[in-house]
């Protein structure tokens, strides 16, 4: 009986990790000038790390009555750019705030925002249509607001 209980508990622990969202995406598009843009992205979401996105005073990091919460149910993750031919978004790892952590075949979007560490005022957005068989990805780069970069995910 103890062995059976141990197997069930261990199975539940492993089952929780099975729902971690990891997307492998490729942006294959053109910029506004017609230059080819190839970006390879890995998105890894920590399902066990909930967070809220709030505004604070940048000089003091204190929260006041004037600040507000954007969402109550977010997740932390990483957006890793393994290769990039686009000069505005460089290869590297970026902290990702996920406001909608939808899995493949869900009926909602996967949505998240990330920022470059050196330019904290530039907030980029990533959206994935997880219900579509090809899982299209849309990447909105803050310093190129007139262009949405498109690709696919697995």
pLDDT for the residue 61? 67
DSSP string, 80-143: EEEEE--TTS-SEEEEEEEEE-PPTT-SSEEEEEEE-SS-TT-EEEEEEETTSTT-EEEEE-TT
pLDDT (average), residues 91-105: 91
pLDDT (average), residues 46-58: 73
Cα four-point dihedral sign 66, 121, 143, 70: negative
pLDDT (average), residues 95-120: 86
Q: Give the residue with greater pLDDT, 89 vs 109.
A: 109
pLDDT for the residue 13? 40
Range from 66-70, 71-75, 141-145 that averages highest in pLDDT = 141-145
The residues near 32 (Cβ < 8 Å, ≥ 6 apart) are 144, 146, 147
Which residue, 107, 120, 33, 111, is CA-closest to 71?
111
pLDDT reading at 125 higher than 70: yes
């Amino acid at each position: 009986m103890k062995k059976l209980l141990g197997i069930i508990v261990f199975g539940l622990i492993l089952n929780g990790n099975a729902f971690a969202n990891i997307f492998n995406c490729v942006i294959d598009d053109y910029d506004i000038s017609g230059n080819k843009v190839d970006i390879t992205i890995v998105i890894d979401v920590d399902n066990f790390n909930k967070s809220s996105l709030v505004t604070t005073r940048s000089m003091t990091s204190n929260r006041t009555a004037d600040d507000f919460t954007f969402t109550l149910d977010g997740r932390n993750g990483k957006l890793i750019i393994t290769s990039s031919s686009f000069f505005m978004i460089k290869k590297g790892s970026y902290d990702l705030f996920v406001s909608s952590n939808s899995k493949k075949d869900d009926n909602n979007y996967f949505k998240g925002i990330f920022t470059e560490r050196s330019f904290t005022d530039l907030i980029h957005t990533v959206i994935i249509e997880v219900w579509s068989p090809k899982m299209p990805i849309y990447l909105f780069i803050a310093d190129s607001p007139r262009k949405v970069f498109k690709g696919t995910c697995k």
